[in-house]
Amino acid sequence: MFKSFLQNVIEQTPGARSIVLMGCDGIAVDQVNRAESMVEDTHNIVVEFAAVVKELIHTTTLLSVGDLEEVTVKCENLTIVITMLNAEYFVALLLDTDGHIGKGRYLLKRDAHKLREALD
């Protein structure tokens, strides 16, 4: 279930490099990459961002602004779109800097309920 969802998003998003379903504990559930050479890089990046996501969840709770839904980080060489599925899991989509962020965000938002159901 997870692999087909992730594969669908990465294939339909121009400029997508990798996509990972990850627990906030830093353990990857599933991952799809455009190139095998990206497997370890993607894993390292997303593990580090899992710690950031945990901190953001804590901050949104302290500020009483509601649950964290999405985070986008745009760097010089990479853009990362993180979509929360629930308090324990998120999906991270890694794109080239000229990748189609909007299409990736749309696909993640449109079908996130399928992953939520599969995680329950």
CB atoms within 10 A of CB 105: 16
Amino acid 39: pLDDT: 61
Question: Is 57 among the domain residues?
Answer: yes
Residue 17 lies in a domain: yes
Residue 23: per-residue pLDDT? 93
At 35-88, the pLDDT tens digits run 765 666 888 888 889 999 999 999 999 999 999 999 999 999 899 999 999 999
Residue 66, by phi and psi: left (phi above 0), alpha (psi -120 to 50) or beta? Answer: left
Residue 120 lies in a domain: no
Note whether residue 99 is domain-resident. yes
Residue 108 lies in domain: 2-115
Q: Would you give the DSSP letter of residue 38? A: G
Q: Which of 117, 114, 79 is nearest to 7 (CA)?
A: 114
The answer to the question of residue 19 being in a domain is: yes
Q: Is residue 39 part of a domain?
A: yes
Instruction: Say which CATH number the domain at 91 has.
Output: 3.30.450.30
Number of domains in the chain: 1
Q: Which residues make beta-bridge pairs with 95?
A: 16, 79
Tokens found for residue 21: 């379903």
